[in-house]
Amino acid sequence: MLTLGWSDGHTFMPIDFFLLSSKTSSINGINEEVDKRCSGYKRRTEALQSAPDQIPAMIERALSKGLM
């Protein structure tokens, strides 16, 4: 799990997160029969990306919401 958050040194407030998975240990892999529009398919494709690839999207979402 990759978490973007804000901290004042004493407390931590999570802002955004991604569930990450290894490409070799995927229990429920991406099946060709899965509808590519469903949220499960999108979540699985995001989980197979690396953490450095996810960080810019997390920061962009936080900035667009006015949190940072």
DSSP 8-65: -SS-EEEEEEE----SSS-SS---TTS-TTSHHHHHHHHHTS-HHHHHHHHHHHHHHT
Model pTM score? 0.64
Show Cβ contacts of residue 26 under 8 Å, excluding neighbours closer than 6 positions: 48
CB 43 within 8 A of CB 19: yes
Residue 13 has pLDDT above 80, yes or no: yes
Centroid of chain to Cα 51: 8
Domain count along the chain: 1
Q: What is the pLDDT of residues 16-64, one digit of tens each?
A: 888 887 766 555 566 677 777 877 777 777 778 888 888 998 899 899 9
| pLDDT of res. 7 | 92
The whole domain housing 52 covers: 2-64
Residue 12 has pLDDT above 90, yes or no: yes
Better-scored residue on pLDDT, 43 or 13: 13
